[in-house]
Amino acid sequence: MRIIKLSPDDPDMRTPEMVKDYFNNKLRERNPQGQFLVTKGRIAEKGMWPGELLIFSYIKGNIVYLAESNSFLFRNEGEESERYPKYFLIDIESIREGKGHLRDLEDALDRHGIPHKNIANTRCWYPINESEDNKDKLKEIWESFKSPIPFKDNQIIEIIIPGQVPSEDDLFQLDLPESTYEERCRIQNHRKVERNPQAAQAAKQFHGYTCQVCAFNYEKVYGKLGHKYIEAHHLKPMYELPPNQAIKVSPKDDFAVLCSNCHRMIHRENPILSLIELREIVQKIKK
């Protein structure tokens, strides 16, 4: 486990709103995806590994986000290398809003008998040894600092539609040979909205983890590996809305959950297929 202290001195972290945008949007848009840049001296040369539990704090020690590392520490060869000589990758799907304070974390570690330094007051990105004896305890502690997603039937989440033009690489990966460049841009931005962590998690919490088209359930096929895995799909063509416009969505009414195959197939048509249309195709083939 590692405590990462975000600073308002960082150009991407000057305000709480910018921190939220960074974790909800910018990390997905970086190349490579999930790239978290590291300033000099923050992490030792061998101080990061895949699967490491991460706790991000912001002003006054408040815990704001949790995530898991998806890589070791790499040398940054990009334009920002002078300010950020290193980087590691964050597992995008593991990002969750956090709660509590670093002093609460210290108390939790004390209760479980896990040694630590003065986490709240130190400035470094403090690591906590994930030994075999501590591993399960640290996972339990880490999970306890996730902010719950209290779903309500009338829950509304505000999302800002991306205003930037998707990269050529992003557009190339869209399997839409008959679409124009402008249509591909809109569809790519639609998918970015679908991946909004707050909306996607709330949709999955309400609709469950079984595909609403073909009834595929990942846990039934893959066991523990597929536990609580599914993709969120937005039902309305939000990509037709003008960029940089804030929209409000309901996880209950505006989203469905689909397996990866059905999600990809539903986006192959332009305009996208409805759940009923794709379900009829699947049922016809099965017959």
104 three-class SS: helix
Structure tokens at 13: 């972290």
> pLDDT over 70 for what percent of the chain?
77
φ, ψ of residue 129 in degrees (nearest 5): -60, 120
Strands 255-258 and 231-234: antiparallel
Q: Which of 41-45, 61-65, 214-218, 272-276 has the lowest mean pLDDT?
A: 41-45
CATH number of 2-144: 3.10.590
Q: Which of 43, 55, 196 is nearest to 125 (CA)?
A: 43
pLDDT value at residue 141: 94
What residues does 7 pair with on adjacent strands?
none
pLDDT value at residue 126: 73
Q: How many CB atoms lie within 10 A of CB 257?
A: 21
Helix (H) or strand (E) run with residue 126 in it: none
pLDDT per residue as tens digits for the range 225-251: 888 899 988 887 655 555 556 667 788
Q: Does the pLDDT at position 172 exceed 60? A: no
φ, ψ of residue 63 in degrees (nearest 5): -80, 120
pLDDT per residue as tens digits for the range 94-113: 888 899 999 999 999 999 99
CA atoms within a 13 Å half-sphere pointing along the CA-CB vector of 164: 11
Cα angle for residues 27, 117, 127 (degrees, 5° grid): 35
pLDDT per residue as tens digits for the range 14-34: 999 999 999 988 998 888 989
What residues does 217 pair with on adjacent strands?
210
Peptide bond into 32 cis (omega under 30): yes
pLDDT value at residue 164: 45
pLDDT per residue as tens digits for the range 47-68: 788 889 999 999 999 999 999 9
Cβ contact 4:56 at 8 Å:
yes
Cα angle for residues 185, 173, 157 (degrees, 5° grid): 50
Q: Does the pLDDT at position 271 exceed 80? A: no
Peptide bond into 166 cis (omega under 30): no
- The residue type at 281: I
Averaged pLDDT, 125-153: 78
pLDDT value at residue 282: 94
pLDDT value at residue 155: 53
> pLDDT over 90 for what percent of the chain?
40
Cα–Cα distance for residue pair 184/174, rounded to 1 Å: 7
Averaged pLDDT, 4-12: 92
Global model pTM greater than 0.75 = no
Strands 157-160 and 246-249: antiparallel
Average confidence score pLDDT of the chain: 80
Cβ contact 67:36 at 8 Å:
no
Q: Does the pLDDT at position 184 exceed 60? A: no
Cβ contact 60:41 at 8 Å:
no
The domain ranges of the chain are: 2-144, 157-286
CA dihedral for 189, 193, 195, 197, sign (positive or negative): positive
pLDDT value at residue 161: 44
